[in-house]
Structure 1
Amino acid sequence: MEEDPRPSWGQKCSPYCLLPQRVTCALMGFLAVLFAFTNRISMSYAITRLVIPVNRTEGNDTDSKFEEVCPKEEVEESKAASTGTYDWSEQLQGYILSSFYIGYLISQVPGGILADKIGYKWVLGLSVFISGLCTVISPITITVGGAYALIVVRIIMGLSQGPIFPAMTVMLSVWVPARERGTLGTLCYSGSTVGIIVSNAVSGVLLFSLAWPWTFYFFGSLSIIWFVVFVLVCYEHPATHPFISLKEREYLNSTIVTLKKEKPPIPWKPMLLSMVMLSVLISQLGHDWGYYVMITCLPKYMSDVLQFSIRSNGLYTALPYVAMWIATILSGLAADWIIRTGKMSMTNERKLATFVAAVGPGLFMVVASYAGCNKLLVVGLLILCMFTMGPYYAGQKLSAIDLSPCYSGTIMAIANGLGSVSGIISPSIVGAMTPNATMNEWRVVFWVSFAIITFSGVAFAIWGSGDVQKYDPTYKEPETEQK
């Protein structure tokens, strides 16, 4: 058996590091996405305390039976938890939640190209830093300027976060060998899931115990602190890192193919016109639709339809994402093992993971909508929904690095940017589809999501790939086997 050339992750490389530097970079990437998502999602939760609740009249003759609304949970609320002072309609709330994705869409491709050209470090670092500032100033923006000023700040936050995934993809292509891509790549990307968990769980506690602005102050400050640490401990390339061990540097040099000269211009035509790229874009759109419906609207579904209290909402909204994070990490480890042992090709592993992560969530969210007011059953089905979405990060999400290590930032920017269209339109569409916030209205939302994400999984299963494409400068013709 061939000896594994990887250096031990626990080896001592200098007095200044306890982990290999590729692991340090992956952990900082994980935290970058985690804090970015807490900034993004905190509004989805805080808005349930900002707005005047929906006025439900009991004893109406709408003949809706149990589908309309569940009994309100009888839990004493904190005095700090206000009943809402802003008369924002469901549709205006949708505009507030979706405005983030307008900026997010605009900055994706420029951010990806910039990260490919100059490197990932400052693109990623400043993106998280500006996002944190926008979060910190959100309370004063709401107080002074109201809903439309908040929309402007949310757009700016979206502009700052657009380059995060493209820049992090460039970081992974520079620091992580293909045989560890499933493990360390999914670790980085799973920061989005943990960010949702932290945002939901901590927001519930903060909103229960303190005034609503503290939710924004807390999460925004963490992003700014992260920026300072990131600038000090992360470097652009293994060759320029002063504290990397010689063994790790040699390992990365031997396992990561890099260009010795300047990159050629981006091959836009072959990149954009390939069926592989089309499958990546369709898959991203479908996944992001289901994902954004869940992350932006699940707190409202828990509050408006299931009638959970503010404390219970935070706990039960977080549980599905705990399941998703566990599935993400396990699927990443499994993907590396499957590929390393030759049990499945990289392409087939990516297709299988993506398909499971499409059909499973769509199926379970629809079933959950038929569980009525059985709150524990609904939460259990939503946990299964998000658990089956976890393998997505060991599937299509790694495509940008798989298809073109040299232009991974650009490919990620195009796919993630197009996927953000779902983030722009889904909250507004959901708001328009659920004007009364009833169970029947939400059931239609879940059926539409099922159709969209299932189609996207099928498309990637047909045309997707995990192989380096011919337009990438590092592409090598496969060696023909001689018998």
Structure 2
Amino acid sequence: MLAGWRLKLSKCFLIPQRYVLGIMGFFAIANAYTMRVSLSLAITEMVVPIKTTQYYDPDACIPEETNATNSVIKDQTTLYDWDEKTQGLILSSFYWGYVITHLPGGILAEKFGGKYSLGLGILSTAIFTLITPFVIIGTNGNWKAVTALRVIEGFGEGTTYPALTALLAKWVPLKERATIGSLVYSGSQFGTILSNLISGELIRYTQDWASVFYFFGGLGIIWFIIWVMLCYSEPESHPFITDREKEYLQKELGSLSTEKPPIPWKGILTSVPVWALVITQVGHDWGFFTMVTDLPKYMKDVLKFNVSQNGIWSSVPYVVMWFTSLGSGWLCDFLVKKKIMGLTFSRKFFTSIASMGPAVFILVASYVGCDRMLAVWMFTIAMGLMGCYYCGMKINALDLSPNFAGTLMAIINGLGATSGIVTPYLAGALTEDHTLKQWRLVFWITFGVFAVTNLIYLTCGTGKVQKWNNPENNREKPNEDNEEKQIQDYKF
């Protein structure tokens, strides 16, 4: 009877359960980013409008509309006098909590399964997003209270990437890793698109910045309900997976340890490829968080877009980045399966495109002056090329250690996210007068970080499974040809 019930349920799904997990994982990250990024655009309308007579900028753009720099908020008592440093501090505070829960989240996901460590993390972030307006208005814009709330939000969201990586390690065969991994991780661009695009229109129509937090917090709760009903930590515990898919996954993922050995901390912490990944993640996050957090401010303060235009044009670069991440994931799998590229070379090749492309075009955007649309297209090309990161270094943790992918991602993504602490505050401190030259310095620093971190990855990165992935075999001679074996595994 139970078998018949499972068979009926499995027929309700037109696609395999690993793809259901991939799609829900995509929406998990999308929701996480809508809640994380929503403040970046909303804060441009939460502060008292800039008094342009405070300074003279010879490179300043002239607003196309006479009221472009004025606030659209109906209730002016909900505008707060936060200077640039305070805004940077508020925007960066999310990452204080985000960094801390990465490692515990990865360990818990590997020990108890990623379903609830991911789900409960997103749920808690959604709840605190919903109450954000009450905290801000209730404390009359007390920046300390807002900062504390954002730290707590970061706590919940810090489990997202480690839990998802642990889930992918148990659900996704090597031959589908770049495609499904790129799909899941591309949720960050999709979430950023939704956040910027919808936030601008919501604020314009409601004339209230609080609507942004209500909307995206509500979406996070809806996602959690669907996630709990559809997704499970591993194929063996899934109640309505087909026998065919389960057998296929058991065959393809049979190399994963059935009994979890102790985490090989010494091997991980002394691994050169792991630290190369950490440094590269820092570089990626530096550039990505600079754009995600500060591009709406640049659009308003330098290019003088109104809130609706800001939402639209701040989202366009991530539309292109999203399509690039999906296309490059498919291309990477194809090139490796056909042996046109080795696994290690493919990871380095796509990572280099995703590093140096944005480094150049972000900088160029600051030199096109007040040609607004040309600047937007430079940012768009930059972020489009950044989409290649996801089939490059982002899934590299799965290559190095399928058994400890959650822990590895926790270390790599957690340490990389320290960029999110630094970049918003640094941008705020360097752009107190909102001038183009001040922003250009921010972009030059970003260029330097991209270049240095990519060089380290080219020198020290690899796609080979590390010998400490199977601690019980550490005494044996490592298989020098394991990358060739991994490439063979791509074949159908």
Q: Give the TM-score, by structure 2 length.
A: 0.91
Structure 1 residue aligned with 2:490: none
Q: Which deviations, in whole Å up to 9, do the C-alpha atoms of 1:31-78 show, x marking residues without a partner? A: 0000010000001111011101221129x7x5x53x2x2111317779
Counting aligned pairs with the same residue, the percent is: 44
Higher deviation after alignment, 143-152 or 128-137: 143-152
Structure 2 residue aligned with 1:8: none
Deviation at 1:241, TM superposition (A): 1.3
Listed as ranges, the matches of 1:245-260 within 5 Å are: 245-259=242-256
2:13 paired with 1:17:
yes
Structure 2 residue aligned with 1:477: 479
Q: In the superposition, relative to structure 1, how do residues 394 and 76 fare at CA in structure 2: closer, same or farther (>3 Å)?
A: same
Deviation at 1:274, TM superposition (A): 1.7
2:217 paired with 1:184:
no
Deviation at 1:467, TM superposition (A): 1.4
Q: How far apart in 1 are the matches of 2:335 and 2:91?
A: 39
2:49 paired with 1:49:
no
Q: Please list every run of 5 or more consecutive structure 1 residues that lacks an aligned counterpart in the other structure.
A: 1-11
CA RMSD of aligned residues (A): 1.9
Structure 1 residue aligned with 2:223: 226
2:323 paired with 1:326:
yes
2:103 paired with 1:109:
yes
Q: Name the count of aligned residue pairs.
A: 466
Aligned partner of 2:63: which letter?
Answer: K
Q: Which deviations, in whole Å up to 9, do the C-alpha atoms of 1:340-372 show, x marking residues without a partner? A: 111111111000011111100010011110000
2:342 paired with 1:345:
yes
2:270 paired with 1:273:
yes
Structure 2 residue aligned with 1:70: 61
Structure 1 residue aligned with 2:201: 205
Q: Which deviations, in whole Å up to 9, do the C-alpha atoms of 1:135-183 show, x marking residues without a partner? A: 0000000011222111111000000000100000011101000100111
Q: Please list every run of 5 or more consecutive structure 2 residues that lacks an aligned counterpart in the other structure.
A: 1-7, 485-492
Q: Which deviations, in whole Å up to 9, do the C-alpha atoms of 1:278-311 show, x marking residues without a partner? A: 2101101111111111000000000011100111
SS state at 1:406 partner: coil
Structure 2 residue aligned with 1:436: 433
Q: How far apart in 2 are the matches of 1:94 and 1:429?
A: 7
Structure 1 residue aligned with 2:115: 121
Q: Contact conserved, 1:279 with 1:459, CA < 8 A, in 2?
A: yes
Deviation at 1:230, TM superposition (A): 0.4
Aligned partner of 2:17: which letter?
Answer: Q
2:410 paired with 1:419:
no
Q: Contact conserved, 1:80 with 1:209, CA < 8 A, in 2?
A: no
Higher deviation after alignment, 13-22 or 208-217: 13-22
SS state at 1:413 partner: helix
Listed as ranges, the matches of 1:283-298 within 5 Å are: 283-298=280-295
Q: How far apart in 1 are the matches of 2:112 and 2:433?
A: 49
Q: Which deviations, in whole Å up to 9, do the C-alpha atoms of 1:94-116 show, x marking residues without a partner? A: 01000000000111111111111
Q: In the superposition, relative to structure 1, how do residues 231 and 75 fare at CA in structure 2: closer, same or farther (>3 Å)?
A: farther
Q: In the superposition, relative to structure 1, how do residues 81 and 45 fare at CA in structure 2: closer, same or farther (>3 Å)?
A: farther
Structure 2 residue aligned with 1:94: 88
Q: Contact conserved, 2:257 with 2:403, CA < 8 A, in 1?
A: no
Q: How far apart in 2 are the matches of 1:231 and 1:154?
A: 25
Q: How far apart in 2 are the matches of 1:208 and 1:304?
A: 18
Aligned partner of 2:137: which letter?
Answer: T
